[in-house]
Every structure is written in C-alpha cells, then in structure tokens.
Chains A and B, each alone.
Chain A
Amino acid sequence: MNGRLEIGVDIGGTFTDVVARVPGKQIRFFKLPTTRSDPSQAVVAALKHMKSEWSLQPSDLTKFAHGTTIATNAVLERKGAALGIITTKGFRDILEIGRQSRRQMYDVVLEPQPPVFLAPRRLRQEVSERVSPSGEVLTKLDEAGLRDAIDKLVRDGAKSVAIVFLFSFANPSHEQQAKELIAAWYPDLSVSISSEVDPHFREYERTVATAFDAYVKPTVANYLKRLEDSLQEEAVDVPLQVMQSRGGLTASEVARMRPIRLFLSGPAGGVVGGRIAGASADVDNIITIDIGGTSADIALISKRKPLIRPEGVIGDYAVRVAMVDVNTIGSGGGSIARVEGGSLRVGPQSAGSEPGPACYGRGGSQATVCDASIVLGYLDPDYFAGGSFKLNPALAHSIVRTNIAEPLGISVEKAALGIHRVLNAQMAEGIRAVSVRQGIDQREFSLMPLGGAGGLHATALASELNMTKVVIPRIPGVLAAAGLLAAPIEHEVSAAFSSPLAQLSIEALKQSLQSLDDSASRLMHAERVNSNDVTVSYFADLCFIGQSYALEVSFDPNTPNLADRLYEDFLAAHDRIYGHAVRVPAKVVALRTVHQAAGSDTIPEMRLPLSDQPIEIGKRPIWFNGFDQTVETRVLNRAALPSGFSFSGPAILQQSDTTTLVEPGWDGVIDSASNVILSRG
C-alpha cells in the first residue's frame, strides 16, 4: 500500500468506529469496544489493526480525523474540572439565578434549574470593573482585587477559571487584561473568557457558555494531548483533526482552546455522513434519524448543508453555542412500554443495555420496543448485531403478553404493533419539532435512518410524515466515522455588531468583518491549509427592533444596497420560519464569518464490493400495521443486492449492522452508489 490513506475514528459511548479510505480505491471499516477509562486507547488499537489486518503503515496517512464524546461525557458524568468563576462586582450569582423560570410547569417541589453544579457560590468571586453598553470603560479593572479573587479560588481548589464581565462583548479589554494577568500569576491554570467563548449579549447565557467551556477544558486538553502524543509515538505525521459541533474539522491544538465547540462532535460526524450518503444518491434535502437503544437523534440537511442552530442543549441545560441542529428524544429500541390507566405508554424510561430488553435474557422484566420487534417478526433472533448475540423470542412474547396485551385485553401481536405505533408517533413529533424550528416542510425531504434500529421504523415514519422517499445508506452503522473523512476544515468567528439597518455603515461593517476574517485566517493557518483553498462566507444576525431573538441571514458584503438586501432576506427568513413578516424597522445584532477548506461532497468508495451470497435469505411471516394476519415476507441480503436491483414491499433487508423493514406500499431499488432508495407512490 502506498500513497494516501485517510482514517476517521468516531469514539462513541459503547463502540469505536474506524473507517479507512484509500481515495479512488477502497474503504474499510471495523468496530471495537470503547475503553471508557481512556478512550484514546481505541485510536492506538485502530492503528494496530490497520497494520496487522490491512498491512497499512502510519507513514501512508494523509489525514487522521476524530469524533469524540469526551466533552459531553465530562458534563453528563460531572467529571469536569473544579471551576471558579470571576465576574463583575455585584454579579457573581448570575449563574445561579439564571432566568428564574422552571422547565416543568406543574412542579411544586423544585430543583435548581441552571447548571449550579459547575461552580457553587463559594467558588464564584467578584472584582471591581465596569464597561458601559457602548463599550466605554466606566471603572478600571481592579488588579489587586483580581489577584485576591484568583488567589482565593486557587486556594479553594479551582483548576479552571471562567471570567465573565458585563458588556465584554462591547469591549473585551478587561477580560483580556484579566486573562493575561492570571496567565502570569498562574501559568498552569486553565482560563476561559466570555468575550472569546460567546461574545454576545445576555449575561446569563454568556456565563453558562463560558463556564461550560472552562469546565471541560482541562479534561479535553489532557485527552487530546495524550492522543496527539500517542499518534506521534506511532509515527503518524499528520495533524490530528477533531470534529466540531457545527460539522467542521479543526486541528487538535485549536480544538483544545475552545472545547465548548466539541459537545456535538460525534453526532456532527453522523450528519456529515448523512450529507455525503445523500449526495451519492443525488438527494439534497434529508432528515436523518439515528435510533439507538435509549434515544433517537434527528437532524436536517437542507440543500446539502447540515442545518445549524445557534443554541444547543447539553444534558438538561441550554448552552448558547452553535451546533448542528440535532434533536434528541428519549425514544429508542430499549424504550419501555407499560399500561397506565388503560393507556399504553412508551418511554421515556429505557431498559438500556443492562438488563436490556426482556429478549436479551439478562433479567429484563419490562416490555420494550425491541421485544415488540421480535414478536412482530421484524428482527431475526439469530441474526441480531450480525449474529453476534442471540435473542430469546419466548421471553419477548411472554413479557409483551403479560405487561401489555392482557391488561389492554388485546392480542400479543396487536400489543406489539401498538408499541411500534406509539413510538413512531413520538418520533414523528420529534421530527416535526426540528422541522418547525427550521421552518422547513418535511414532505420535501427524504428520510435517512441511521443506527442499529433506524431501519425498522423508516417507512412507518415516512408514511406518517407524508414523506415519499427513504434513503438507506450502504454503511449506516459507521456513517459518522465516514463523515469525518468528508467534512471540511472549518473556523467560525463572530462578534456583536449593533446597528439599525436604516443607519448601517458599510464601512464599519467591513471593518468588523476584516477583523473577524483576520482571526479566522490565523486559525486556518494553523491547519496547514493553502489559503487559496479557503472559501469564506458571511452571516448577519438580524431582528426587528423590539424583538430580542435574531435570525441568521447570509450575505455578500459587496452587494450594492446591502442594507436593503439584508432587510429583504431577513423578511423572507422570518416568513419562512415564523409564518409572517411585517415591514417594520430591523437591526443587525451580530456578524459572523465562516472559513471552510478541503471538504468533499461524496465518498465514492462507500460503494462496497458485492457479496456473492444469494440475494434472498428466506421468507418469514411478519405482522404489519393495518393487517389482521401475518404476511409472508421476503428477507433480502443487503450485501448481495446489485445496483439496479428492484423489489416491492413487504420485504426485510438484512445486513450485519442493521435491519430495514420495507412495509407494503413501498418499492425499493439499489442505486449506482449502493444506496437503497425506497419510494411510495
């Protein structure tokens, strides 16, 4: 093997997926269990596997891209750094007061709603300083007070510090000054300042973003540093690239500086994977749904671009950092079904993997969606996860009977169909929620199921949502890792820029963009990217004067009558997302530049060699929604289906990483890129 070799490694909670690609030749992949104590071991293991099984050498590597859940896990497991916060005098409690509203409206015995766990009150200190809304310094930074505050935090155990001063988005000088002073006093202390993490108005939201950044920074830095070191030991001579939440890669040393951008590192790879699989099928608009054991992740790709949301959710907390718009709902293959007050309820509780669904035979005593799938004949108990794990159909039947069918007075099969129908209704609402948020009509999109359980629900969900096309990629199980190979390197820099459109100064706007571009270019430079390969796009956040949430509009700064263009595009966006727009004055609140390089639209090698086994594995009786009896259904071997092969539902497509249920009424064809295209008249 010589020449170029690209590797994508996606480390999830349970499995690490590795995809290796020799451009123009082939793609290979494998899965191995994630080492929870040190996920970076999986990377070394991947390199070993590459050498021993595939005879590939580290010196062949031209790209090494990585998706990681390290930042998210640090939050979910509360394993971030001991954090201190320094604020403007009078404002140390902003984190704890939050926005004062509660999430559950009928709750009376309450829990704190903001992420107070990040830094209890004793680890929040104040210093005297003040900047006005227009950025004018009113009170100079009290350096001696800062020294006292930081000394006290360090004495009390803080290993990382977040600095949030009022109006630092209008004038960051005090935060910069504080950062430099602390770096001189405590060179090893990790520091995040709000004007760099989230330079936008609303002090609570900015505090939360900055505090989360500081909280995970030491953990992420250690992890990535260790990974960089082990790659060096293995003689890998390409920079380690890390996936960011917006769906773009960055060099590891840049990622370490701004870890808050890594919360959706893993799912973002999946969304990019969905984009390239869609592109290979010549589909521009896609809704991906990745259904796992406990939850389902829903994302949108519009005109071949993953849709971004300006604020994401980490655990229970809203965090103002841009990320691919992935809507996670608590419905999955392990969701528990139960009867309550004569109603069938499904989820949000899940049986997880221990004890797991009853059919796992590990003592699970609740009926789950997976058990229902066994009852209905959707899953082959002997071929679950490629046959690596045998399921017990008798346990599935008996639990669905006793827990669901008998209390409702219906047959076991009706009960199992019911579990699927209720779950599908929930997931369909989840898909609608993302669609509404982004102002798109889901009927114009194709559905792409991912993950182990996605294929079982795809046609039912599509029918429910009046979608007419489903695309099943060739390798749905490792698409996130493949996405890492196609993602662009990306740097996004933004700043507050406040101006009514009527008084927009093009000069001031261009000046602000120039400074944003300078920052982005510096970051790009660290990536060893030729500046000619960089594409730059600009965005403005606008709102009506009086409104306080903004919409993003893309623009070209050289457009004649720019203010008019921005206004018209803003009205159109408002109408698309909110259903109406009135011609009243609007203003710009922020500007953003996005620099991208070296992404690709497709990975042609994803078309795997054809298996020479028989196309049809057999037939089995299946229960479908709307039928009173089983339907004898063909089971097809996905790996053996050639391009151009067509079939009609009902059918089951079996492959090692997933099973696809094709309901009656759907027709399928294998396209030239080995995708299965299902469509409905």
Chain B
Amino acid sequence: MQRKNHGLDPITVEVVRNKLDGIANEMQQTLLRSSFSPIVKEGLDASASLFTVDGETLAQACAIPVHLGTLIPVVAKIIEIYPVVQMKAGDAFIMNEPYLGGTHLPDIAVVAPIVTKDGRVVALSAAMSHHQDMGGMSPGSVPTNAVEIFQEGLRIPPLQFRKDGQYNETLVALIRQNVRIPDTVMGDLNAQLAACNVGARRVGELVDSLGHNLVGSIFANLLQRSEELTRSALRSIPEGTYSYIDYNDNDGIELDKRIKFEVAVTIKDGNFHVDFTGSSPQVRGPFNAVPSGALAAACFAIRAVTDPNIPTNAGCFRPISLELPRGSIVNPIEPAAVNARTATIKRMAGCILGALRPAVPERVPADSSGEMLAVMFGGLRPSGAPFVVGELIAGGSGAGINSDGVDVIETDVSNCMNLPAEAMEMEAPIRVHQIALWSGSGGPGKQRGGLGIVKEYEVLDGEIRFTHRGERHMCAAAGSNGGGPGAMAVSQIFRTNGQIEDIPSKAMAVLQKGDRVVITTAGGGGNGDPKLRDRRLADADLKDEKVLRSDVRA
C-alpha cells in the first residue's frame, strides 16, 4: 500500500526520527550521569523527553514510563501559563505541583524551549528527576502517614527557573531554604538543565540544517504515523469492553481497609478508553494518584499491547481517553496527600493489562507482584551525623503463556534499580544478613510465576526511624488460565526481647540496636494448570529450590 506523506521525503522523515531518538538518549545519559543523589544514580529515577510546541511527546529516552507519561500534563500546564511564542533562548521552567499536572512533590520537571537562531521556538526539552528531599514532615519527602499535601514538602507551581541563562535567584533561595539537602537538590536540578541544554543544542542544529517549516511538518508526520500504526494495532484487538478488579492493601492510615481498583477498558474503532468508575473513593493516606498517574498507566499499557516496533511518541497516545471519577483514588480532590502514588499507578497499569489479557493473551502475562516495596531507614550515626538510606525492592513478574515469570524484577510503569547491600552498609549502621530469592513464592502453573525476594536487616546502632511501604500483603497477584496466585508478601520486625511484630503492609516504626527486620516481596501469578508443567522444568525447580518439595506434595 502506498502512503501519503504530504509531500515529505520518507527518507528524511526516518533520518530525523533516528536523530530524535539519539537526542533523547543523549539527554538521558547526561541527566543520569551528572546527577548527585543515590536515588537517581543507583535507582535511575529520572527521565528525559522531547516535546512539540503543542506539548505532544516527540521522542522519549528509554527511561521510567511513569515519568514519561506524567511529563505530558506538566508540559501542557507550563505552556498554558508561559505561551511558547513568548519563550526565549536561555529560558527554563520548573514545576512539581501534582494538582496542576505533576505527580508527587519529589518529582520536579524542568522544561526548556528549543529556539532557532531567529528566535523561533521549534520544540521543548524536558527532564524529570526524583529528588532525594523536597522538605515536608519527613526526610525523603514521602511520609507514609501524611494526610494532606502540605505535609509532603515544598509545592512549586509553574515558575520561571532561568531567564536569558540566569537563574531565578529568588526561587533558588526559596528551594534551598526548604529542603534538607540543598546542595544535592541543586546538583540534580543542574543535571536536569544540562540535559535540556543537550536537547536544545541538538534539535537546534537539526532545524538549522533543514529549516523550521520542514522540521515542523516532519514532527507532525512522525506523530501521525505512530498514531495510524497504533490505531491499526488496536483494530486487530477484538472490539469490546474488558474489565478487571484488583486491590492495594491499605492507605497506611486505615490499615484494615483495602483499596479497590475497578477498570473497564473499551477497545473500539481504534480507540482506547479507560474508565476507572467503581474504584475506591480517595483515601486519607498518601496513596491518591492525581490524573497524570492514570495517563502514565494508560500510556504504558497501550505501548505494551500494541506493536513494540512502533516509534514511541504522542501519536501512540492519541487513541487514549480517560474517565476518572472525581474524588476517587485515581482523581483525588486537593489537598489530599499523594506522595505514595507509585503503588497506585502500578496497580492501575496492572488492572488495564489484566483487563486486556483475554483479548491479547500472548502479550499480557498473569498478574505481576506489581509492587515496589519502599523501605527507608533514618537516624544518627554514632558520630552524630544524620543519615537517610532507602531502597525500592521489586517482586516477581507474572508467567506468560509461553514462559515462566521472572524473579525479582521491575515491571510496568517503574524501572528502578535496587541498592547493593554493600552500599547500604557503608551508608548506615545496618547489617544486611540475607538477600535471597523467596523459595516457593512464585504462583504455580504450567508456566510458573516469578519469585519474590527475602531480605534481612539488623540494626547495629539505635535508634533508627524505619518506614515500610509494601503492597500485596493482603491481596495476591492472580494467576491466569488456571495458574495459581503468587505468594503474598510478609514482613516482620524481630525485637531483641524475642517479640515479633507483623508489618501490616505499611508501617513506621522505631528500631533499636539488635532489632532485625525481615521483608519479603510477593511472587507473580502462574499461568495454566500446574499439572501440565513440563517434568524437566518441574525437576529443575526442585533442584534449584525455587519450588519447595513440601509445596509440591500439598
């Protein structure tokens, strides 16, 4: 079939596309490598992206989907308040406000115009990093017990961060005054600016060589092409409305109340409509997700169920429409607390995928643990110096129709690295006694679910303030096609006096010298009847102690 290209040379379009991908990745490299905080350097919790002047995603680095999705409403808000036509070279804008399009306060976006020599804005470069601290009631700015956003840290509405290459010193002074580690925060903001500068320079060169008219048409063409490909892939999915229900454990405040996620995904006519009607009302604790979260989840899901070869840009996202009941967990009313929204967005993504599993069984595995356990330890060293060390820990992924789930791996909208035991022990008076696969935790099935983790910490010097923010302690990752669920997570504190305390998914506790904490993350769901599992695979599981003999007899 021959296609219309609006007179554009298809070769030049493809050359530009390759360049844009290269530029986004160059921005990402600059962002990661020049950042300061361990959460960016070890956890890779930062993302770079290019946008059109209309605020549509032009190219993305291979980074964190939750950031790449949430940058979309952030950029939209910034260009609403600071019209693109008035932007000048050397300008940059900043924002973290969730209720204006952001996600949670530690995630600050920096957006800069890409300006031609004759002063025309041709695109925008954007970078989002998770900052180690944004002030508020607890170190790290993700307090499990927050009940309103004012407790969570400094709220930055869309503001001009740099003008003519000069910092807005008033704003810088205000930020520095409000955060616990100002040098680190400014170091990471500098890294974000550096990444935007790379985008500005390289896209600028592209426009210089091709002319802004041609480049503008090419950008439009690239988006349109991805849109057509995505819609055509959606049309290959049987039309219909697919629904799914899953839960998160609790909001950290009302510990015995599960949070329900109910989704109906309608695939029709190349469109992708996601309706979260029926989900829980907003909660008191910080697990509410502003609408950027549902958008990030839907963006991830649409890329996952269509063709991965389609170049990722806003065109892929155009078929998406969202229905997010106001006052619900997926669209809270200000000033609800939102800092722990990752768990919510991950569950939303899991639900959208789970709904579509019957429609595209080869693309969607059984449910993954879909959790990112956040643990944080804070206190004083024997020398009196304060420390805060935290890590994000994954569980097992769900089994596909042809392959086992993967043990302890990041899934869906997040993609963070863990913290080495050696890094943790050098940072804090903590000894790590065990980092192991949790034997027997994968959901049984013809294809077995991935295993969760077991991790054991001992406090060497008290006291330590400990935060635990888990999921899947009360609601397992479901299997598919007759496969069993993954094991639910269990975490406990072992006190020196012999007392054992169960952690009800979320907890803040004070630990004393000699106390031990043992955490686990959940396993992924299995796929298919466990009795049909290949004998050799089953034997290998026993030899590797991934499945326990006692479980097989049971």
Contact = CB atoms under 8 A, between A and B. Distances in A.
B14 A344 contact: yes
Interface stretch (B30-38, B114-122, B234-242, B287-295): B30-38
Interface stretch (A13-21, A96-104, A249-257, A563-571): A96-104
Contacts of B425: 132-133, 167
A185 interface: no
A584 interface: yes
A340 to B, nearest CB: 7
B212 interface: no
Assign chain A's interface to a size class.
35 or more
A296 to B, nearest CB: 14
A577 interface: yes
Interface residues of B, number: 94
B65 interface: yes
Contact of B406 (A110, A203, A429): A110
A103 B540 CA distance: 26
A31 interface: no
Interface in B437-494: 437, 450, 453, 456
Given A110-B397, A549-B41, A579-B197, A97 B437 contact: yes
A203 B422 contact: yes
A111 B26 contact: no
B308 A107 contact: yes
Nearest to B397: A110
B225 A342 contact: yes
Interface in B397-448: 397, 400, 402-403, 405-412, 415-418, 420-423, 425-426, 432-437
B112 interface: no
Interface string A215-233: 0000000000000000000
A481 interface: no
Given A106-B312, A580-B191, A94 B435 contact: yes
Given A106-B65, A342-B3, A549-B41, A112 B545 contact: no
A493 interface: no
Interface in A260-307: none
A108 B417 contact: no
A106 B417 contact: no
B394 A341 contact: no
A520 to B, nearest CB: 26
Contacts of B197: 579
With a 10 A CB-CB cut-off, give which of A104, A108, A132, A166 has the most chain B CB atoms.
A108
A666 B93 CA distance: 44
A269 B446 CA distance: 49
A314 interface: no
A432 to B, nearest CB: 6
Contact of A108 (B312, B353, B434): B353
A332 to B, nearest CB: 16
B411 A133 contact: no
A548 B300 CA distance: 30
A132 B460 CA distance: 12
B229 interface: yes
Contact of B415 (A105, A132, A167): A105
Given A201-B423, A425-B15, A547-B41, A577 B365 contact: no
B321 interface: no
Contacts, number: 214
B187 interface: yes
B481 to A, nearest CB: 14
Contact of B26 (A94, A113, A133, A433): A433
Given A547-B41, A584-B187, A344 B194 contact: no
Interface in B339-393: 353, 362-365, 393
A109 B30 contact: no
B253 interface: no
B18 A426 contact: yes
A341 B14 contact: no
A169 B286 CA distance: 41
B417 A121 contact: no
Contacts of B362: 109
Interface in B17-44: 17-19, 21-22, 25-26, 29-30, 33-34, 36-38, 41-42, 44
A49 interface: no
A422 B18 contact: yes
A401 interface: no
A577 B198 CA distance: 12
A112 B30 contact: no
A584 B41 contact: no
Given A97-B435, A100-B417, A544-B36, A345 B14 contact: yes
B13 interface: yes
A578 B415 contact: no
A121 to B, nearest CB: 4
A414 interface: yes
Contacts of B194: 578-580
A578 B2 contact: no
Given A341-B225, A344-B10, A433 B38 contact: no
Contact of B417 (A91, A99, A167): A99
B431 to A, nearest CB: 8
A664 interface: no
Nearest to A138: B431
Nearest to A94: B435
Given A422-B18, A436-B29, A101 B44 contact: yes
Contacts of A104: 62, 308
B62 A548 contact: no
Interface string A416-437: 0110011001101100110011
The 10 closest A-B pairs by CB, nearest first: A429-B22, A578-B34, A418-B11, A342-B3, A90-B434, A121-B544, A109-B400, A579-B194, A99-B417, A106-B303
8 contacts: A110-B409, A342-B10, A429-B19, A429-B21, A433-B25, A578-B30, A579-B34, A580-B34
Given A90-B434, A93-B435, A112-B409, 16 more contacts: A97-B435, A97-B437, A101-B415, A104-B62, A105-B64, A109-B365, A121-B545, A133-B426, A166-B422, A201-B420, A204-B420, A341-B3, A428-B22, A433-B22, A433-B26, A433-B29
Interface of A: 90-94, 96-97, 99-113, 120-122, 132-133, 166-167, 201-204, 340-345, 407-410, 414, 417-418, 421-422, 425-426, 428-429, 432-433, 436-437, 544, 546-549, 574, 577-580, 582, 584
